[in-house]
Amino acid sequence: MRPHVEAHLVARIGWLRAAVLGANDGIVSTASPILGVAASGADRQALLVAGVAGLVAGAMSMAAGEYVSVSSQSDTEAADLARERAELAADPDHELQELAAIYASRGVNAEIAARVASQMMAHDAIGAHARDELHITETTAAQPVLAALASAGTFTVGAALPLALAAVLPMGWMVAGEAAGSILFLALLGGVGARAGGAAVFKPVARVVFWGAAAMALTAGIGRLVGAVV
């Protein structure tokens, strides 16, 4: 008989959050300055310079930010595991009772909980405490390098979309076309992210479009104001 294997979508959480954040930020952070510069009356070369500069700076910033923040989580996890190893070495009986109490609090009979805890400690003591006491698993453990690469890569992909629009749209249609195209890209991103995470599509699409459109509208308004003053 073939073993029953279930693939849960929570396994994607390590990279999905960083990927969605990176792509969304890539679209908004690149489209917004392009719209602002376009609204000021600048030419296409200025738009492309602003877009490329935003892409490079944003990708590096996203990678560094994700790596630093997720590394902080990783450091905290490592410190907790080191403390747990020290406690296991110093007082294994207390740690056994602690693990048994955790299982009992989840509804396991006290006698069975003690036996299960004893077997789990004999099999992999630190693994049992990491999972059941500290809630650290392979699925949820911090992965700084993966988060940084996913964030930077998806930021670059997201940023390339409004940059491509800036390169091909007629200048007379630049502001309206850039805004409409970028909002469409955001809606598609929200839908893809929702599907990848197994969630309903409407709410993710609505919130990513709302906040993206708000950021672009604000930047375009500032660009138009500055252009009028200058």
The whole-model pTM stands at 0.69
Which tens digits make up the pLDDT trace of 147-204? 788 888 889 999 999 999 999 999 888 888 988 999 898 888 877 777 766 677 788 7
In this structure, the number of other CB atoms found within 10 A of the CB of residue 162 comes to 30
Give the N- to C-terminal CA distance of the chain in Å, as an integer. 76
One-letter identity of residue 34: I
CA 182/CA 162 separation, integer angstroms: 6
Residue 9, pLDDT score: 47
CA 55/CA 60 separation, integer angstroms: 9
Averaged pLDDT score across all residues of the chain: 82
Confidence of residue 14 (pLDDT cuts 50, 70, 90): low
Residue 166, pLDDT score: 92
Per the model's pLDDT, the better-predicted residue between 71 and 223 turns out to be 71
Residue 54, pLDDT score: 87
